């Protein structure tokens, strides 16, 4: 982790953070958050540098994805605790699902999928999308779960919330974590991605907006 990275209030509770600082390589990317999960790349997502100088990864929707072995991911096994996700994407596939995050079977865990909207799915049901995903355009998506409440944000603003979320989450410790594909090896994400992050706490609405305002210039948004 870069010196002082965990001193920022916004970064407190970070469990996974993928800034793609490498700009090169086909084997792994660095998780700069504690506990430094080993994140493997499969096939060859393409390194692309934006005009801002930021490196992002482009996924082909056919062979590219990232993964964390189950044995290395006990900190990402939730049942009742609070957590938050945030990631920037510029997707190029619509009309069928692309998986952003998956640690789920039919009876365990949860996943995040993108189509015309962003879906949060768990064994008890799903959080319905707003059909607000824009193709080939950088946008920040984030979720926070706290107690029975699940909130969904786009570009820092809350889009919708379920104040009586009944999505059941059973331990999925035996499952690998996939970013960019489903557990079945299907629904591979097509488009670019940056800054995939997970927190072990509930981000406030102000923090979701702070992330967007801090980073939007990197994407010309």
Within 10 Å of residue 129's Cβ, how many Cβ atoms? 18
Q: Is the domain covering 5-219 a CATH 2.60.120.200 domain?
A: yes
Rounded mean pLDDT of 122-149? 87
Could you tell me the pTM of the whole model? 0.94
Radius of gyration of the chain (CA): 16
User: Domain locations in the chain?
Assistant: 5-219
Q: DSSP character for 173?
A: T
CB 10 within 8 A of CB 211: yes
Instruction: Report the b/e string of 170-204 with b at 16+ CB within 10 A.
Output: bebeebbbbbbbbbeeebbbbbbbbbbbbbbbbbe
Per DSSP, the residues of 89-115 read EEE---SS-EEEEEEEETTEEEEEEES
Residue 130: the pLDDT is: 85
Instruction: Specify burial of residue 76 (Cβ count, 10 A radius: 0-12, 13-18, 19+).
Output: buried
CA distances from residue 156 to 13, 53, 72, 94, 212 in whole angstroms, order as listed: 19, 22, 30, 23, 5
pLDDT of res. 2: 44
- Per-residue pLDDT for 103 more than 70? yes
* Number of residues that this document lists for the chain: 221
What H or E segment, with its residue span, contains residue 193? strand 190-199
pLDDT at residue 3, rounded to an integer:
43
Q: pLDDT tens for residues 36-56?
A: 999 999 999 999 999 999 999
Burial of 58 (0-12, 13-18, 19+ CB in 10 A): middle
Question: Could you report the per-residue pLDDT of 141-196, keeping only the tens digit for each?
Answer: 999 998 878 899 999 999 888 766 667 788 999 999 999 999 999 999 999 999 99
Helix locations, 110-168, DSSP H: none
Query: What does DSSP assign to residue 216?
Result: G
């Amino acid at each position: 982790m870069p010196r002082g990275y965990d001193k920022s209030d916004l970064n407190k509770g970070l469990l996974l953070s993928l800034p793609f600082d490498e700009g090169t390589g086909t084997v792994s990317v660095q998780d700069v958050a504690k506990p430094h999960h080993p994140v493997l790349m499969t096939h060859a997502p393409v390194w692309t540098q934006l005009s801002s100088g930021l490196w992002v990864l482009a996924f082909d929707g056919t062979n590219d994805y990232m993964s964390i072995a189950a044995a290395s991911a006990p900190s990402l096994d939730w049942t009742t605790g609070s957590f938050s996700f945030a990631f920037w994407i510029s997707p190029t596939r619509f009309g069928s699902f692309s998986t952003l995050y998956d640690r789920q079977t039919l009876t365990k865990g949860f996943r995040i999928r993108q189509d015309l909207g962003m879906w949060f799915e768990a064994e008890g049901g799903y959080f319905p999308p707003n059909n607000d995903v824009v193709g080939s355009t950088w946008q920040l998506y984030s979720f926070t779960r706290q107690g029975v409440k699940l909130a969904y944000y786009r570009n820092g603003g809350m889009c919708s919330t379920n104040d009586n979320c009944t999505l059941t989450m059973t331990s999925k410790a035996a499952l690998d974590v996939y970013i960019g594909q489903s557990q079945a090896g299907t629904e591979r994400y097509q488009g670019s991605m940056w800054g995939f992050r997970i927190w072990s706490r509930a981000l406030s609405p102000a923090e979701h907006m702070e992330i967007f305002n801090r980073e939007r210039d990197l994407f010309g948004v």
